[in-house]
Structure 1
Amino acid sequence: MGKKIAAPFPPGEILRVELEARNWTQNDLAEIMGRPLRMVNQIITGKSGISPETATQLEGALNISAETWLNLQSIYQLSKVAENKTEDVKRRAKLYSLFPIKEMIKRGWIKAAENVDELEDLLKNFCCVDDLSKAKDFSFSAKQNISSYNSPVSPTNLAWLYKVRNLAKTQITTGKFTIHAAQSAIDKLSALLLSPEEIRHVPKILSDSGIRFVIVETLPNSKLDAVCFWLDDKTPVIGITTRYDRIDNFWFTLRHELEHVLRGDGKITPIIDENVGIDSDDLPEAEKIANSVAADFCVPQDKLEKYLLRVGPYAFAERKITAFAGVLNIHAGLVVGQLQHRTQKFHLMRKYLVPVRNFILNGSTYDGWGFVNEEI
């Protein structure tokens, strides 16, 4: 282990030693140099530095070259600057490791800071914490911790989660949450599956059921689709990204998150869904259940099975798809989405996967796509 280099000390320390060696007082040196006693005292106490003029006078008084005094002063000043700058750099690096600062500023979530102290304060305010080491808790109580299938949450997703939470806290729902209210909301939502335009009613239906619903555009390099968590035991929150602006993905994701709400998932640990709907044996049971329910909500799975048996290789025939969707009174895009998922033939019939974001943003609490929500 290498030796720790001693920190440089102010040249006033050496000056004090030299005076003691000569049995001189500070007043003696001041008289010798023809300078005020206050000037000598401030050098010795480190309150003032040594100028070229003073260095020249010290050379004459103490027979120590002016270059030596100036070098000592320069080394000390550089060490102080380096110490302060290094500390600021370390602090700033830590903050940048916690959050995507540049993107947050770009999105208007925080303003550009003039120094690291201001940046730290802005982030504390954004997270509503007094210590940023607590930021990853994303909590309203000490026992809560973030988890995405037991994986560490990324800085990008963490910032998104806080934005969703901040916006959700500003909402006032028109109804109180109960399981019955949530189930009633799902029944009402199922009547909207035929027309993309009907999606505009979603925010009100959820609000009437006491569920806070927020839409926040993802940050770059994120695969987030949605999150379910609770502000308290009676206040569920659903946040979505509409990362895939398609009718099938919207309804699947929303019903998936509603199932988490019905089950009480997310009360202890926020449920973070990336690539929602993906099939994997490693998925937690809650995710498998939510996926199954969401698929059945979009297209009743027993009827889809019968359709596949009946049409066989002609499953993607446009006439058959539209006829099947008509019988179910749902949009053909929901059928196409389920067929693509089952067959992995994602290039077929894409024209039916119509965009819906513009319909859902109308009347929603949202942030992104050029709009900055400044609720906090």
Structure 2
Amino acid sequence: MKENLDFLGISQADLARRAGISIKHINQIAQGTAPLTPETAILLERVLDVPADVWNSLEANWRTQEQRRQDTEILQQQLSWLDRFPLRELVARGIIPNRAKTVDNLRLLLEFLGVGTPEAAENVWGSYKVAFRRSTTKTPDEYATAVWLSLALRSARQVECEPYRRETLVALIPQLRALTLTEPKHWLAELPKICAQAGVAVVFEPAMPKTHLSGATRWLTPDKVMLALSDRFKRIDQFWFAFFHEVGHIVLHGKRLTFLDDNPAAQGDFSSEEEEANKFAADTLIPSTYAEQYRKLSERPKPFSNIERFADLARIAPGIVVGRLQHERRLKWSEGHRLLSSVDFQAHRPAG
């Protein structure tokens, strides 16, 4: 405004008279202490021959700049919130560039989490906890959990799926179970493809310290559900139990709840939904068809060739049978490791 007045040789008082606005208001606009309204922009367009759109754009940019300055001052007072997060993990996963407690890093974290302020984040997570079902013997770090879940959600939203159909997912279970016999590089590629046919977005997010999470399910839209898995235990039996546990939640419980699950095979008190999902996973991996053969095996699991013969009969990976026997205390946790293949998302992720 000042530049235009100087160019035209018009004083602020003259502009005020020409536009029918008080001198005080013109001065406040020039100083940036009063907003330039659309009505004023129209008047200035007539007097100064500068389009109203230009004035409105300048005003919007100025106000945004001022608000960013104020926002920076507010965030500067909230930098301690960063101390609650696993900064090393945030850097390793490309969320922030370094571990410095700066306003820029705080902004990046808020943008990543999809929240406007630290207070909003706390309120959002508080409401989610009502829906989460987690079986755990350890106290989880809710901030690390929020990061892990946000990473999984971002990945899941990128997965293209057919609309969710429960009957399709149920029909695919034998095909999914057969993948337990394949190498990790194969099923890491095939699991998402197969499940996408039923509206399930499967994502693999490497485990994060202090989250104590094996997996999570969450509905993204009425026609798409996320099934996220971690490699927390690095064991084939734990991975596949967690996968079918989450499938159980989707098949049995539909859209009623959002689930965050710790080790679903751990002992402890579970909600009815957790118990149902546990049973679904156990019965899927070792169906009742083989109940008698499994009973005989559990009475005499060694030599380990017995386990391999049963696994071959049931068409399931031997490591899954080892895990079941260990859970039922038919084998010691130190036994059967030769049959337990490892699961590491980073090491086994397919190229490309």
Name the TM-score, length of structure 1 as normaliser: 0.64
SS at match of 1:191: helix
**In structure 1, how many angstroms separate the alpha carbons of the residues matched to 2:348 and 2:195?**
12
Match of 2:293 in 1: 307
Match of 1:323 in 2: 309
SS at match of 2:328: helix
- The Cα of 1:171 is off from its aligned counterpart by 2.1
- The Cα of 1:312 is off from its aligned counterpart by 6.2
**In structure 1, how many angstroms separate the alpha carbons of the residues matched to 2:124 and 2:104?**
22
Q: Name the amino acid aligned to 1:179.
A: R
- The Cα of 1:316 is off from its aligned counterpart by 2.6
- The Cα of 1:362 is off from its aligned counterpart by 2.4
Match of 2:178 in 1: 191
* Residue 213 of structure 1 pairs with residue 202 of structure 2: yes
**In structure 2, how many angstroms separate the alpha carbons of the residues matched to 1:363 and 1:252?**
26
* Residue 162 of structure 1 pairs with residue 147 of structure 2: no
- State how 1:241-320 maps to structure 2 within 5 Å: 241-264=230-253, 267=255, 269-280=257-268, 282-301=269-288, 303-304=290-291, 306-307=292-293, 309-311=295-297, 313-320=299-306
**In structure 1, how many angstroms separate the alpha carbons of the residues matched to 2:121 and 2:257?**
14
8 Å Cα contact 2:141/2:211 also seen in 1: no
- The Cα of 1:244 is off from its aligned counterpart by 2.1
Match of 2:132 in 1: 147
1:352 to 339, 346, 350: 339
**In structure 1, how many angstroms separate the alpha carbons of the residues matched to 2:179 and 2:107?**
45
Provide the alpha-carbon RMSD of the alignment.
3.1
- The Cα of 1:102 is off from its aligned counterpart by 3.5
- The Cα of 1:329 is off from its aligned counterpart by 1.8
Bigger mean CA deviation after superposition, 204-213 or 109-118: 109-118
Distance 1:143 1:307, change over 3 A: closer
Match of 1:67 in 2: none
**In structure 2, how many angstroms separate the alpha carbons of the residues matched to 1:211 and 1:348?**
35
- State how 1:87-102 maps to structure 2 within 5 Å: 91-97=78-84, 99-102=85-88
Match of 2:211 in 1: 222
Bigger mean CA deviation after superposition, 252-261 or 214-223: 214-223
Distance 1:161 1:342, change over 3 A: same
Distance 1:127 1:145, change over 3 A: farther
**In structure 2, how many angstroms separate the alpha carbons of the residues matched to 1:311 and 1:234?**
42
- The Cα of 1:360 is off from its aligned counterpart by 6.4
* Residue 337 of structure 1 pairs with residue 323 of structure 2: yes
**In structure 2, how many angstroms separate the alpha carbons of the residues matched to 1:152 and 1:201?**
31
SS at match of 2:179: coil
Q: Name the amino acid aligned to 1:129.
A: V
**In structure 1, how many angstroms separate the alpha carbons of the residues matched to 2:297 and 2:246?**
32
Distance 1:163 1:309, change over 3 A: closer
Structure 1 stretches lacking a partner, 5+ long: 1-85, 365-376
Match of 1:30 in 2: none
8 Å Cα contact 2:217/2:260 also seen in 1: yes
SS at match of 1:172: coil
Distance 1:149 1:203, change over 3 A: closer
Distance 1:88 1:168, change over 3 A: closer
SS at match of 1:236: strand
Q: Name the amino acid aligned to 2:309.
A: A
Structure 2 stretches lacking a partner, 5+ long: 1-72
SS at match of 1:193: helix
**In structure 2, how many angstroms separate the alpha carbons of the residues matched to 1:156 and 1:168?**
18
Output one character per residue of 1:51-72: Cα deviation in whole Å (capped at 9) or x when no partner: xxxxxxxxxxxxxxxxxxxxxx
- The Cα of 1:145 is off from its aligned counterpart by 5.2
8 Å Cα contact 2:242/2:263 also seen in 1: no
1:116 to 99, 102, 111: 102
- The Cα of 1:363 is off from its aligned counterpart by 7.7
Q: Name the amino acid aligned to 2:267.
A: D
Structure of greater Rg: 1
- The Cα of 1:240 is off from its aligned counterpart by 0.8
Distance 1:317 1:208, change over 3 A: same
The number of aligned residues is 272
Output one character per residue of 1:104-132: Cα deviation in whole Å (capped at 9) or x when no partner: 12321222387633233212210112233
Match of 1:362 in 2: 350
1:233 to 207, 212, 222: 222
SS at match of 1:192: helix
Output one character per residue of 1:131-153: Cα deviation in whole Å (capped at 9) or x when no partner: 332224558xx888563449876
8 Å Cα contact 2:216/2:259 also seen in 1: yes
SS at match of 1:224: coil
Q: Name the amino acid aligned to 2:168.
A: A
8 Å Cα contact 2:227/2:246 also seen in 1: yes
Q: Name the amino acid aligned to 2:338.
A: K
SS at match of 2:320: helix
